[in-house]
């Protein structure tokens, strides 16, 4: 009797919350804010991409140049770097040291990560139309909790990388396509099409997200919606076209194509430079190095994959039946996301940066795909994934010191100022931290020793995975001939070690510190913004004119 009363009370509370969903959203956002506040304060180690992106942001803010070197930044579109540039101006880090700019860029990443949690909640409620009030409440709350503690989303949410921005914008496209489903064609095309283009101008692999509405229309066999979705996709590609046009206008069209030729080869799997499929690197080792960190994410992927199969079967996909609106949207999102993930694992790069794009769809499938009522096994599995996420976040973030790079830089500045250092991984990654030492990136020990270097930085993880100039051969050479000076634990790099190898005298007059890379004169951020604004204004004017003509009564004459 008491158990029944408690169940009835919980159901009553859930139904009341369903009538005020803003309370659920506010609670989920508050939890995410608390988690990412801890994330930002607990992790100080950074990687090469964060250095380059923060440098590009500073160059945008100070020189109006979307670059981190002498050439324009065309391996990725400019929009995220413009956001970083604006944020560095607002945060006061535009003219500061690069480490400070990296930490400020992470605030932007955390902001978009919190918005991602909110967007997951909004999508969960949108897909849960037709469910009972109490069920919707638990679905939305569960989705937001899983998104907050998903290992992949947590990992990238504490960085200054593109992924947090890109994941949010991709989800925004899917949400707007659902929200504006019944809007007029000019409104749908203007909003969904332009936002799709902006998504591609953040990160181009989002093409695998912005096709979701079109696939949903196909599964639903709603040919009118399919045509609208394809038209919105074409508008998105048109907006993306400002990217190559910008490169050509700046005189960097050849460089743009060179960078994208490399990117296409990486996407196709012809060029393997990261992830599980690299030659000379153990796939099991790559997977094992991050298994604990991403464990909750792997669990959510597994639950979501099972949910996708069930949703597809219940919806009638395997029987070639027309899917309902909610089922079509959810299955389309899952098919595209898991299809892209499977392709990357089997043939493509299979790296963290591409895997994370499937994390949010997996969360949605985990809580939504089971029909009514949700099986107890699915509820237990989701609760277990959330518990694992909380546990690994506590052990890997809250209880782990992750500042070895900064500490090593301080040690060298105090004890070995102006002594050249051979980096582990990449010289550019170390340059912001080693303010009193010039950084080199020799790939073999004898050459470095003959150049007058005695200090070598090592990371077992860098050496094992052959990041940058690191390799097992260089690692073995240093350990065989040198002596250890300092060893610091690092969650991100396993350990960072300083070794000294005896050899010829150090050449005098060595540079203390490192020069800032040059700024490209062919990467005007102003020109990009002008081109983008002009195109959007032209699209808006054309769609507005269409709406006027479309709504004009048949009997009107000029």
pLDDT, residue 6, reads: 55
DSSP state of 521: S
Task: Decide if 78 contacts 56 (C-beta within 8 A).
Answer: no
Q: With H, G, I as helix, E, B as strand and everything else as coil, classify residue 488.
A: strand
Residue 366 near residue 300 (C-beta atoms within 8 A):
yes
CATH topology classification for 404-500: D-Maltodextrin-Binding Protein; domain 2 (3.40.190)
* Contact yes or no for 377/17 (Cβ under 8 A): no
Q: Which pLDDT value is given to residue 372?
A: 79
Q: In what side-by-side order are the strands of the sheet with 494-500?
A: 439-440, 421-422, 455-458, 494-500, 483-490
Beta-bridge partner residues of 488: 496
- For the four alpha carbons of 93, 94, 95 and 100, in that order, the dihedral sign comes to positive
The burial class, CB within 10 Å (0-12 / 13-18 / 19+), for 144 is: buried
Contact 58, 523 (CB under 8 A): no
In whole angstroms, what is the distance from residue 503 CA to residue 506 CA? 8
DSSP strand pairing (494-500 vs 483-490): antiparallel
Token match 């000379």: residue?
A: 280
C-alpha–C-alpha distance, residues 180 and 382, integer Å:
30
Rounded Cα gap, residues 527 and 529, in angstroms: 5
- Dist CA 534 CA 544 (whole Å): 15
Of the candidates 386, 507, 525, 504, the one whose C-alpha atom is nearest the C-alpha of residue 60 is 525
Q: Do 51 and 431 touch, CB atoms closer than 8 A?
A: yes
Q: What is the pLDDT at residue 314? A: 85
pTM: 0.92
Residue 339 confidence (pLDDT):
93
Taken in order 155, 159, 163, 164, is the CA torsion positive or negative? positive
Rounded Cα distance, 283 and 294, in Å: 16
Find all residues with CB under 8 Å of 558, minimum gap 6, and list them: none
Q: What is the pLDDT along the chain (558 residues), one digit of tens a residue?
A: 445 555 555 566 667 777 788 999 999 999 999 999 998 887 778 889 999 999 999 999 999 999 999 999 989 999 999 999 999 999 999 999 999 999 999 999 999 999 999 999 999 999 988 787 888 899 999 999 999 999 999 999 888 999 999 999 999 999 999 999 999 999 999 999 999 999 999 999 999 999 999 999 999 999 999 999 999 999 999 999 999 999 999 999 999 999 988 888 877 777 776 667 777 777 777 777 788 889 999 999 999 999 999 999 888 787 778 888 888 999 999 999 999 999 888 877 778 888 899 999 999 999 998 877 888 999 999 999 999 999 999 998 888 888 899 999 999 999 999 999 999 988 999 999 999 999 999 999 999 999 889 999 999 988 988 888 999 999 999 999 999 999 999 888 889 999 999 987 665 556 788 989 999 999 999 999 999 999 999 999 999 999 888 777 665 543
The residues facing 490 across adjacent strands are 494
For CATH 3.40.190, the residue range(s) in the chain are 404-500
What pLDDT shows up at residue 1?
45
Residue 246 CA to residue 370 CA, distance in Å, equals 46
CA 337 vs CA 293, 304, 424: distances in Å: 21, 11, 34
Q: Assess contact for 242 and 532: CB atoms under 8 A.
A: yes
Surface-to-core class of residue 40, CB atoms within 10 Å of its CB (0-12 exposed, 13-18 middle, 19+ buried): middle
The first and second tokens of residue 494, run together, are 């396993």
Q: How far apart are CA 407 and CA 400, in angstroms?
A: 15
Torsion angle of the four alpha carbons 72, 76, 77, 83, in this order, in degrees rounded to the nearest 10: -90
Task: Confirm if 388 and 299 have CB atoms less than 8 A apart.
Answer: yes
- Report the C-alpha gap between 527 and 531 in whole angstroms: 6
């Amino acid at each position: 009797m008491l158990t029944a009363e408690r169940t009835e009370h919980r159901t009553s509370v859930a139904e009341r919350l369903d009538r005020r969903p803003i309370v659920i959203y506010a609670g989920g956002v508050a939890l995410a804010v608390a988690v990412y506040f801890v994330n930002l304060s607990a992790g100080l180690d950074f990687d090469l991409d964060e250095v380059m992106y923060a440098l590009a942001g500073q160059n945008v803010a100070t020189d109006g140049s979307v670059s981190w070197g002498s050439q324009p930044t065309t391996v990725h579109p400019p929009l995220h770097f413009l956001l970083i540039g604006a944020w560095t101006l607002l945060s006061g880090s535009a003219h500061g040291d690069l480490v400070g700019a990296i930490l400020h860029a992470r605030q932007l990443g955390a902001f978009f990560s919190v918005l991602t949690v909110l967007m997951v909640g909004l999508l969960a409620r949108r897909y849960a139309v037709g469910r009972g009030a109490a069920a919707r409440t638990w679905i939305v709350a569960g989705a937001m909790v899983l998104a907050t503690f998903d290992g992949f989303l947590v990992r990238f949410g504490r960085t200054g990388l593109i992924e947090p921005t890109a994941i949010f914008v991709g989800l925004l496209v899917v949400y707007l396509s659902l929200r504006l489903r019944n809007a007029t064609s000019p409104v749908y095309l203007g909003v969904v099409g332009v936002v799709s283009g902006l998504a591609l101008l953040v990160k181009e692999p989002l093409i695998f997200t912005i096709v979701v509405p079109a696939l949903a229309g196909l599964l639903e066999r709603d040919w009118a919606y399919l045509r609208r979705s394809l038209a919105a996709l074409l508008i998105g590609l048109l907006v993306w076209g400002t990217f190559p046009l910008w490169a050509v206008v700046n005189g960097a069209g050849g460089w743009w194509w060179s960078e994208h030729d490399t990117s296409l080869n990486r996407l196709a799997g012809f060029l393997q430079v990261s992830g599980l499929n690299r030659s000379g690197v153990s796939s099991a080792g790559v997977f094992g190095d991050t298994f604990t960190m991403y464990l909750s994410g792997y669990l959510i992927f597994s639950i979501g994959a099972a949910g996708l199969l069930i949703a597809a079967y219940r919806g009638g996909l395997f029987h070639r039946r027309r899917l309902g609106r909610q089922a079509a949207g959810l299955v389309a999102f899952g098919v595209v996301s898991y299809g892209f993930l499977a392709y990357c694992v089997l043939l493509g790069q299979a790296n963290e940066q591409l895997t994370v794009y499937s994390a949010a769809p997996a969360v949605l499938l985990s809580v939504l795909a089971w029909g009514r009522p949700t099986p107890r096994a699915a509820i237990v599995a989701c609760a277990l994934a959330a518990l694992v996420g909380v546990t690994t976040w506590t052990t890997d973030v809250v209880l782990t010191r992750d500042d070895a790079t900064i500490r090593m830089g301080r040690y060298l500045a105090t004890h070995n100022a102006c002594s050249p250092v051979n980096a582990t991984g990449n010289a550019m990654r170390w340059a912001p931290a080693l303010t009193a030492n010039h950084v080199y990136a020799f790939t073999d020990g004898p050459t470095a020793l003959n150049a007058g270097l005695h200090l070598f930085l090592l990371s077992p993880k860098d050496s094992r995975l052959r990041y940058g100039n690191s390799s097992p051969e260089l690692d073995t050479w240093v350990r065989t001939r040198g002596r250890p000076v300092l060893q610091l634990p690092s969650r991100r790099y396993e350990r960072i070690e300083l070794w000294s190898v005896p050899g010829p005298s150090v050449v005098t007059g060595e540079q203390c510190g490192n020069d800032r890379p040059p700024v490209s004169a062919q990467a005007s951020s102003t020109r990009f913004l002008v081109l983008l604004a002009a195109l959007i204004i032209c699209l808006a004017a054309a769609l507005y004119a269409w709406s006027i003509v479309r709504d004009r009564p048949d009997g009107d004459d000029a």
